[in-house]
Homo-oligomer: A and B are copies of this chain.
Amino acid sequence: MSKKSQVKTLQNRLTKSAGRKAVISREDVIHAAFSLVGPNRSVSSLSLREIARSAHIAPNSFYRHFKDMDELTLAMIALAGRSLNQLLGEARRRVSKDKSVVVTSIEAFMDMLESEERLLHLLLREGSVGSDRYRNAVEQFLTHFEDELCLDLIRLMKASNQQIMYPHLVSKAITRLVFAQGGYILDRPKKEHPMIKEDLIKMVRMILIGGVAK
């Protein structure tokens, strides 16, 4: 089969003759899986058949795209991670004079918590259960964010002629705290979010102050 034929055409999307599905994409399955996770459903509790039902495909069609559930789960993490990465990257570029990188990032993060709840669920709440590969993947994303923040901090401190003792510990503390609170927020009603956000910013400021002190 040629490369071209792999592309899903408009015709493919719309054709559905005799109860037979046109081409199914990997992404369709991934999104079907995401649509099932929520506060009370963890990805590790999803069954292959359940996902197939949600994607409107036959159970066996699943195997055309993923070796098993674990492979799907990793793809989901990758997607969520990429989204968060992109979001934080944009936030970083958007930093103004009156708002620090940290505050801007936290605000962006909180926005995403509200708009892309399901995506973040995986990273924030399910990073500690599941297969080794799964947990490893989540952990890898966490340390990635830590590293980025660490670089930011060093740059900022240099610019303002301040000293920071353990930049990697400061960024680790901030990252872990923000992510932990992020997982917590997913359970709270939205009207509490502004308050939680304020508190979170205060807590992060403490860490920063404590980190650069003396």
In the bound complex, what is the Cα–Cα distance between A211 and B210 (angstroms)? Answer: 8
User: Is B40 a contact partner of A203 (Cβ separation < 8 A)?
Assistant: no
Residue in contact with A129 in the complex, picked from B126, B184, B210, B211, CB distance below 8 Å: B126
Tell me, in angstroms, the Cα distance from A206 to B167 when the chains sit together. Answer: 11
Q: For chain A residues 120-137, which have a beta carbon within 8 Å of chain B?
A: 124-126, 128-132, 135
A153, chain B: closest CB distance, angstroms: 12
Shortest beta-carbon distance, A189 to chain B, in Å?
Answer: 13
On whether A176 and B181 interact (CB within 8 A), knowing A124-B128, A125-B129, A131-B40, the answer reads yes
**Chain B, residue nearest A121 (CB):** B128
| A181–B169 alpha-carbon span in the complex (Å) | 12
The range of chain A's interface size is: 35 or more
Interface residue A199 (Cβ < 8 Å from any Cβ of B): yes
Residues of B within 8 A of A184 (CB): 128, 139, 176
Question: In the complex, A183 Cα to B127 Cα: how many Å?
Answer: 10
Task: Tell me if A193 counts as interface (CB < 8 A to partner B).
Answer: no
A173 within 8 A of B: yes
Judge if A172 is at the interface, Cβ distance under 8 Å.
Answer: yes
B211 touches A40 (CB 8 A): no
Q: In the complex, how many angstroms separate the beta carbon of A121 from the nearest chain B beta carbon?
A: 9
Q: In the complex where A40-B131, A44-B45, A176-B180 touch, is A169 in contact with B126 (Cβ < 8 A)?
A: no
Distance in angstroms between the alpha carbons of A211 and B205 in the assembled complex: 9
Could you tell me the distance between the alpha carbons of A184 and B127 in the complex, rounded to whole angstroms? 10
State whether the Cβ of A14 lies closer than 8 Å to any Cβ in chain B.
Answer: no
Knowing A205-B210, A207-B173 are in contact, say whether A128-B131 is a contact too (CB < 8 A): no
* Chain A residues in the interface with B (C-beta under 8 A): 39-40, 42, 44-45, 124-126, 128-132, 135, 139, 166, 169-170, 172-173, 176-177, 179-181, 183-184, 186-187, 199, 202-203, 205-211, 213
Can you give 10 contacting A-B residue pairs, CB < 8 Å?
A40-B131, A124-B128, A128-B186, A169-B199, A172-B199, A172-B203, A205-B210, A206-B210, A209-B209, A210-B211
